[in-house]
Amino acid sequence: MFWPQPYDPKGDAAQCMQDWGVTSQPNWTLDYYGGWKPKADFKDATNIIFSNGSQDPWHIGGINNQYWDADKTGLVYVFIQDGAHHFDLRADNLLDTKFVTDARATEMTYIKRYVKEYNDARDQVTQ
């Protein structure tokens, strides 16, 4: 879709200003939601599943499993080999690879656990 070209943040910012009248903010997501220091930024977070795939250009620098133990924190990282972060969110497809079906299975395991933990905690409060 796009011809390869070198990354030029200053040039990109100037182009955004010229074309759209806005200042580009390439780090906005990390600044606003956190992620520069995952262990600190997400220390109070729970029940999050981060998924990336080898086709996601940012996967090498994104959130990954080096930051926490899913069984202790409830923060899960799922990597989809030969896929992308959205493959796991699609409906089942005959062309799905084992990596995609495994990602969905892992995510479903944790989602069921999160729901059970919530229901158990709610039941404790209401008894």
pLDDT digits (tens, 9 = 90+) for 40-79: 888 888 888 989 999 988 777 777 777 777 777 778 889 9
The more confidently predicted of residues 50 and 100 is 100
The CATH fold of domain 9-126: Rossmann fold (3.40.50)
Q: Do residues 83 and 103 make contact, with C-beta atoms less than 8 angstroms apart? A: yes
Q: Is 34 exposed, middle or buried (0-12, 13-18, 19+ CB in 10 A)?
A: middle
The two three-digit tokens of residue 98, written as one number? 């084992």
Q: What is the pTM of this model?
A: 0.72
Task: State the alpha helices, DSSP H only, in 55-97.
Answer: 70-73
